[in-house]
Amino acid sequence: MYVDSNIGGSIDGTGGADLAILDEQITAAERVGFDGIWSTEVSRDPFLPLLLAADRSRTMQLGTAVAVAFARNPMTTAMVANDLNTLSRGRFVLGLGSQIQAHIERRFSMPWSAPADRMREYIHALHAIWASWQSGAKLDFRGQHYRHTLMTPMFSPQPNPFGSPKVMVAAVGPKMTAVAAEAADGLLVHGFTTARYLRDVTMPIVEHGMRISGRSRGDFTISYPGLVVTADDEHTYLEATHQVRRQIAFYGATPAYRGVLELHGWDDLHTELHRLSKAGDWSTMTTLVDDEVLSTFAVTGEPKEVGAEIVRRFGGMVDRFTLYTPYPLDEAARAAVVEGVKAAG
């Protein structure tokens, strides 16, 4: 199992808008021993941090986890992904997510439609564009949502010596998971996923998709940003626990993620979290995430113990594990977790 880190965004307690901060994040990730780094589209652009990372690191895999697909058209996404794959010498992975209707329409001012079918078409459009650049063949993609039929020599990049980027899709529900398994190179599991949901719901869909697409499990990458509660001292551990409870409460209030709670018999928890979120009562929401819910959604413990538990829970299902810590975690603790994962894996 490879173990990765986040840079640039705010999802893991980091800033990253300052180039010096980004530079230190990348350097620290290599120093700690991470195998890859992902940039998240939360409060920062997902691509710009990876431009710096491609220059600073010569070994780590670089990816977006995620870039919001429907906030962009396939051509603009294909262009930046192609450039990053060139600059990183083939180490870039394009991770795409659909986001929810409110964000697409009201934040990005873009049209909304059934996300699974649209994501499948989006991936096909990307591959058609990249294939045109690689082979020089006429671009003629005509879909329900996207139409790309013009590509002249002046606007066509030279064939990429490293090929086209790999595409991974973020999914929770069965329809989008099926799209990832049938049309993409990998699946970005949502952080609001338990080992049981991954085993009982996600993996059977992935296996079915592999059969449909004529591929084996070795052709497909599953990456999971797992919530972790750990620290070297009690005060920091308590703060980490609070922040992870808060993150679980936030996700648990989202209707799109209700199915994960339902699998565990926690339907009522979602109903109450959703009600409180509408009222803006985030403090009460956090208190509803009890120890059982916390330990189900997050790996908890001392840094030297957490790595082995990550492998025990997810080793047979996940190829890459990203340390998801929505609070500051010092370098020594990160290094201990990384060492534990690699030793156990």
Q: Which pLDDT belongs to residue 302?
A: 96
pLDDT for position 17: 72
> d(Cα 184, Cα 177) in Å, to the nearest integer?
10
255-258: long-range contacts (C-beta < 8 A, 24 or more apart)? 256/100, 256/172, 256/173, 257/172, 257/190, 257/192
Q: Which two tokens stand for residue 199?
A: 């085993």
DSSP 3-state of 313: helix
> What distance in Å separates the CA atoms of residue 1 and residue 321, rounded to the nearest whole number?
7
Residue 256's pLDDT is what?
87
Q: What is the pLDDT of residue 6?
A: 92
Low-confidence ranges of the chain (pLDDT < 70): 9-15
Say what the pLDDT of residue 10 is. 62
Cα separation, 54 vs 84, whole angstroms: 8
pTM: 0.94
At residue 11, the pLDDT reads 59
What is the reported pLDDT for 19?
87
